[in-house]
Structure 1
Amino acid sequence: MIRSLHAFRFIFALMVFMSHLNYIIPSENKFWSFLYRYIFREGYIGVSFFFMLSGYILAYRYTDAIIEKSFSFKTFFSRRLARILPMYYVGLLVALPLSYSELIYGNTLFYIKKMMSTIFMVQSVIPVSDYYFSFNGVSWSISTELFFYIGFPLITAVLIKQRFIKRTLIAVTTLIIILAILLIGYENAYYWLYISPVLRIADFTMGIGLFLLIKGRSFQLSIDEATKWEYRALLVFLLFLILQPYVHANFKLGVYYWIPIGIIISVFSNVQGKITMFLSKPVWEMLGHISFSFYLLHHSYIKYYQHYMMPNIDPKWTGIVILIIILISILTSYVTYRFIEEPARKYIRGRFS
């Protein structure tokens, strides 16, 4: 059933794409401004989905090995690096020309420091936006994810031994809520609640805990009943989106979307209704496979258009431009997945596992 979540990888990657349209949406256009304010802007929650799904899937794959004490951190970590490194650096190379003028005319030493932090994937631990958003702006999340991988065995082992997983997850949620309240008005709250691996590891932990809560339970439902649960999960998610304008940003960056995301993951990974069957079709599975490349490439394409083409394009073509950027992102992601991401992953796994 886990494979049914492939489609959601792409759907949430597309939501992240939409959240970055603020760079190119004409502010004077009421239609596009409305869409961005109430729909597109919330696309950043795709990152929360990826973090929680990552914890859930890794727990699905490795919990038994940890219980049986056959887990190898070296094998695990090399496989995770094989998964993220090739496209991480491709994404960096694609984005580099955008910073050409900064290298030539700006502070060269500062540029080199930012480059080093990005190359070594530690930019997300530096609470300065010029660092964590440098070069390929979305790559901060991969840096944050790297720290999750380091902590995964310990977190999972603790949760496995913890008899009261629900209480642990409630305690984590309560802690984040308290911190969100304390950070209201703090100018760097965005970093701590959204970027920093210190707090975002809570999303990852929620994914692990969600799997452990479900593990071993049977969900034998008819197609019609399973379909009802799928619609319920999507309706809950829609409800949270409708209510989001009334929620403080600090909570939306943290705990607010955990419930709908957790419901989507748990429902669509354990039941098979009509929506799951539709999203399990080959085209959706392929879109899921290329979603990582799509995520790491799209931001640069939007920025290239903003810097080099947007001044010469009539705002009335905004919709067509967005569609073209999406298509270019999908096509290039397919190419990089087939000829860079997958071959490199297999080579690294074979060489170092």
Structure 2
Amino acid sequence: MIKPLTSLRFIFALMVFAAHCYVIDPHFSHFLYKEGFVGVSFFFVLSGFIIAYNYQRKFESKSISRREFWIARFARVYPLHIATLMLYPLVGGALLAMNWDTVLKLVSQLFLVHPFIPQTDYFFAFNSPSWSLGCEQLFYFLFPFLALWLNDTRKLFWILIATGLIVACGMYFTPEEQIRAYWYVNPLTRLPDFLVGMLLFKLYDKSTGNWSVNRATWFEIGAVALFIAFYYCGSAGVLPKVYRYSVYYWLPVSLLLYVFAMNKGMISRFLSNKYLVIGGDISYAMYLIHLFIIELYKSTGWNYPWQIVIPILLLITICCSLLSYRYFEKPVNKYIRMHLK
């Protein structure tokens, strides 16, 4: 575990939470909040880095099989996904109006193929954040093959450059009303984010990381400042939103991950705080649970000041995520891996 990166997961999960609070109060419609969708890009790049960090050498040395890897990822992703998928229709009353279209949506989301369907009522059906799990599922399926095929850093770099140019051109020619379906949620077009993370691991793995504390701290400050600058300019609309879904943030997110993966500076020490690390551990649950809690509050029709409501909803989300992580995700993960080994 690289503790600063785990803590960064918590920080970006908070950004995603804030990005969805506009459904409660117009205050969160401000561009600085709504740009929080960058958290998803961060998670995809981080996923590529961490998966390569944990498994690249194992696949190269053949010390792990594809089956073992897929079981491990299934045990991590699917239990909470299925639990929240079951919860949404029950609470939302969708089962009371069951029809063929609802069944198709449930089945597509159950198997995490719904982000491939370019219709909003499919890829955002029920627990809408689960669309990103469909992307992760594709990444995990392909990784054992990519780990061996793209084990050369130079090859991976040039493939990523070519892919980036193709993606940027495709984004330019896509009609405005279709960009979310084809460039935000589609697993195939989000795969380059994952490849960026894999390339980042290659660079990290070749680095000596022989930095002093002072030097590392300045690098960390610089990486944070660069990300904030990109974030502010992006949220102010410097570039069309379609580019900000992925390619625009590749550089600042990559530098952020690379510098903090070194775990050398004073900010890294702060991010290694055990409470922030726990926040990172529960970030997956936060991501899947938070919108459910926000929408549940919205459905009550209550209209309390956001200064009171948002902290309470965040606290409820964190508490539910802690309970989920400790008493559901970890035990079920262990059970599945033990019985499917």
* TM-score normalised over the length of structure 1: 0.92
Structure 2 counterparts to residues 191-270 of structure 1, below 5 A = 191-244=181-234, 245-270=237-262
In structure 1, the residue matched to 2:11 is 11
Give the superposition deviation at 1:151: 0.7
In structure 1, the residue matched to 2:293 is 301
Percent identity of paired positions between Structure 1 and Structure 2:
34
Q: Extract unaligned runs of 5+ from structure 1.
A: none
- Once residues 131 and 233 of structure 1 are traced to their aligned partners in structure 2, the CA distance between those partners, rounded to angstroms, is 37
- Once residues 290 and 68 of structure 1 are traced to their aligned partners in structure 2, the CA distance between those partners, rounded to angstroms, is 31
2:227 counterpart SS class: helix
- Once residues 2 and 159 of structure 2 are traced to their aligned partners in structure 1, the CA distance between those partners, rounded to angstroms, is 25
In structure 2, the residue matched to 1:42 is 35
Give the superposition deviation at 1:171: 1.4
- Once residues 162 and 224 of structure 1 are traced to their aligned partners in structure 2, the CA distance between those partners, rounded to angstroms, is 30
In structure 1, the residue matched to 2:164 is 173
Deviations 1:10-49 (A, max 9, x none): 1111111111112111x3xxxx2xx532311011111111
Give the superposition deviation at 1:108: 1.3
Structure 2 counterparts to residues 273-312 of structure 1, below 5 A = 273-308=265-300, 311-312=301-302
In structure 2, the residue matched to 1:83 is 76
Match of 2:67 among 74, 78, 97: 74
Q: In 2 relative to 1, CA 312–213 (structure 1 residues): closer, same or farther, beyond 3 Å? A: closer
1:246 counterpart SS class: coil
Deviations 1:134-172 (A, max 9, x none): 111101111221011111122222221464433222212
Contact kept in structure 1, 2:4 and 2:263, CA below 8 Å: no
2:46 counterpart SS class: helix
Contact kept in structure 2, 1:23 and 1:306, CA below 8 Å: yes
Contact kept in structure 1, 2:2 and 2:263, CA below 8 Å: no
- Once residues 175 and 346 of structure 1 are traced to their aligned partners in structure 2, the CA distance between those partners, rounded to angstroms, is 41
How many corresponding residue pairs? Answer: 339
1:200 counterpart SS class: helix
Deviations 1:75-100 (A, max 9, x none): 00000011111111222233223431
- Once residues 293 and 99 of structure 1 are traced to their aligned partners in structure 2, the CA distance between those partners, rounded to angstroms, is 19
- Once residues 224 and 56 of structure 2 are traced to their aligned partners in structure 1, the CA distance between those partners, rounded to angstroms, is 28
Contact kept in structure 2, 1:233 and 1:264, CA below 8 Å: yes
- Once residues 91 and 245 of structure 2 are traced to their aligned partners in structure 1, the CA distance between those partners, rounded to angstroms, is 28
Is 2:339 aligned against 1:351? yes
Deviations 1:221-265 (A, max 9, x none): 111111111110100000001211211011011211111111111
* TM-score normalised over the length of structure 2: 0.95
In structure 2, the residue matched to 1:318 is 306
- Once residues 31 and 314 of structure 2 are traced to their aligned partners in structure 1, the CA distance between those partners, rounded to angstroms, is 20
Is 2:328 aligned against 1:340? yes
Deviations 1:184-230 (A, max 9, x none): x3421211111001110110111111111221311111111111111
In structure 2, the residue matched to 1:331 is 319
Q: In 2 relative to 1, CA 164–118 (structure 1 residues): closer, same or farther, beyond 3 Å? A: closer
* 6-15 or 158-167, which deviates more: 158-167
Q: Extract unaligned runs of 5+ from structure 2.
A: none
Contact kept in structure 1, 2:153 and 2:199, CA below 8 Å: no
RMSD: 1.5
Contact kept in structure 2, 1:98 and 1:135, CA below 8 Å: no
Q: In 2 relative to 1, CA 163–263 (structure 1 residues): closer, same or farther, beyond 3 Å? A: closer
- Once residues 268 and 195 of structure 2 are traced to their aligned partners in structure 1, the CA distance between those partners, rounded to angstroms, is 25
Contact kept in structure 2, 1:165 and 1:213, CA below 8 Å: no
Amino acid at match of 2:18: M
Contact kept in structure 2, 1:220 and 1:271, CA below 8 Å: no
Give the superposition deviation at 1:272: 1.4
Amino acid at match of 2:17: F
